[in-house]
Structure 1
Amino acid sequence: MALPPLALLLAAGVLLSSVEAQSSFSKLPESYKKGVELAEQKVNAHEGVHHHFLYFKTIQQSQIEAGFDVVYIYQNVYLKATMCKRGTENADTTTCAYRNDRPLIDCAVCYKTYAGAIEAEPKPYVSCVHKPALTEAMKKERIDHCNKMAYSSGSPTLLTVVS
């Protein structure tokens, strides 16, 4: 039985969006990939999640270079459910196609890196919410939390180093 042309186009579109999302992840700098991985770990570890979630799209990303190889990173990304079950290891969009019947998960992640590695203090912040449930107040709270994290750590300045 042959598929109607519209079904073929839709299937090709799903495959294309999966390939685009995976290639856009591979194009992220290593420091931003680490944030996406934090978000994926948090969502995929949640007991209420039945399907494996993978990176779908970056909404916003920024960084503050504090000097002495210290960088504060903020990311806002979308994760999307796949056909694979939660707990699938080594999942990517070639083995786990995206589902289009579930809402996206909006994640905000901020963390401090030193020499490219995520620091334990201050503790990395990961906030993930189903996109339809995300409110403007929640968005503001996320940004405020990340801003406080960057400024409360007492990042060094040249003025404090002068003897």
Structure 2
Amino acid sequence: MPVFLLFMLVSAGLFLDSSEAQEDLSKLSENHRKGVEMAVEQINSHQTIKSVFLFFRSLDKSEIDGGFGVSYPFHHFNLKATRCPKGTKDPNPTKCAFRNDRPLIDCGICYKIYNGEIQNEPKPYIHCIHKPQLTQDLLNTRIDHCKKMSYTNGSPSLLAAIKP
């Protein structure tokens, strides 16, 4: 009986862990969610990845409003391996339970969004690495890269135009 009770508690904990992560993804702004989807797609496309990785939790996020429909999101988050093999159609945490025997992947991304679409220029920056390999130097490099990204909104605003 105690073994059954322990099994039920562990199972309930795994379910809560999975559902909480999915709720966090649904609570993200549309701009941040698009970035997470871009990173998940990139990670899951690597040949060395054997199981599907999904969004696990946000660690830090911000967004600069550039005006005229332009914004510059930054997002630091974790991805976690699931029990679903690579190639699973429509993976989600309720169908693909998270694994606790694999390290998290730590991701930092920044990109430009114009009218709800991620732009190719400047090139979106996606830096993801297994958590045990993450160093403070890598974190600093990631943050510096996002700070130094040259974001331009194109032409100057109408207020800067000079009448001929």
For the criterion TM > 0.5, the same-fold answer is yes
Q: 3-state SS of the aligned residue for 2:111?
A: strand
The aligned counterpart of 2:79 is 79
Deviation at 1:2, TM superposition (A): 8.6
Deviation at 1:160, TM superposition (A): 6.9
Number of equivalenced pairs: 161
Residues 33-55 of structure 1 deviation map (CA, whole Å, 9 limit, x = unaligned)? 00110110111011111110000
Deviation at 1:154, TM superposition (A): 3.1
The aligned counterpart of 1:153 is 151
Separation in structure 1 between the aligned mates of residue 39 and residue 135 of structure 2, nearest angstrom: 19
Separation in structure 2 between the aligned mates of residue 45 and residue 103 of structure 1, nearest angstrom: 18
Q: 3-state SS of the aligned residue for 1:80?
A: strand
Q: 3-state SS of the aligned residue for 1:120?
A: coil
Residues 8-65 of structure 1 deviation map (CA, whole Å, 9 limit, x = unaligned)? 1111100111011111111111111001101101110111111100000000000111
Q: 3-state SS of the aligned residue for 1:4?
A: helix
Separation in structure 2 between the aligned mates of residue 123 and residue 89 of structure 1, nearest angstrom: 28
The aligned counterpart of 2:64 is 64
Identity of matched residues, %: 47
The aligned counterpart of 1:11 is 11
Deviation at 1:158, TM superposition (A): 5.0
The aligned counterpart of 1:132 is 132
Separation in structure 2 between the aligned mates of residue 136 and residue 2 of structure 1, nearest angstrom: 44
State the TM-score, normalizing by the size of structure 2. 0.91
Separation in structure 1 between the aligned mates of residue 88 and residue 128 of structure 2, nearest angstrom: 20
Matched ranges for 1:14-53 at <5 A: 14-53=14-53
Separation in structure 1 between the aligned mates of residue 118 and residue 18 of structure 2, nearest angstrom: 28
Q: 3-state SS of the aligned residue for 1:91?
A: coil
Q: Which runs of 5+ in 2 are unaligned?
A: none
Deviation at 1:68, TM superposition (A): 1.4
Q: Which runs of 5+ in 1 are unaligned?
A: none
Runs of 4+ in 1 over 6 A off after TM superposition: none
The aligned counterpart of 2:98 is 98
Separation in structure 2 between the aligned mates of residue 127 and residue 59 of structure 1, nearest angstrom: 14
The aligned counterpart of 1:116 is 116
Separation in structure 1 between the aligned mates of residue 3 and residue 140 of structure 2, nearest angstrom: 47
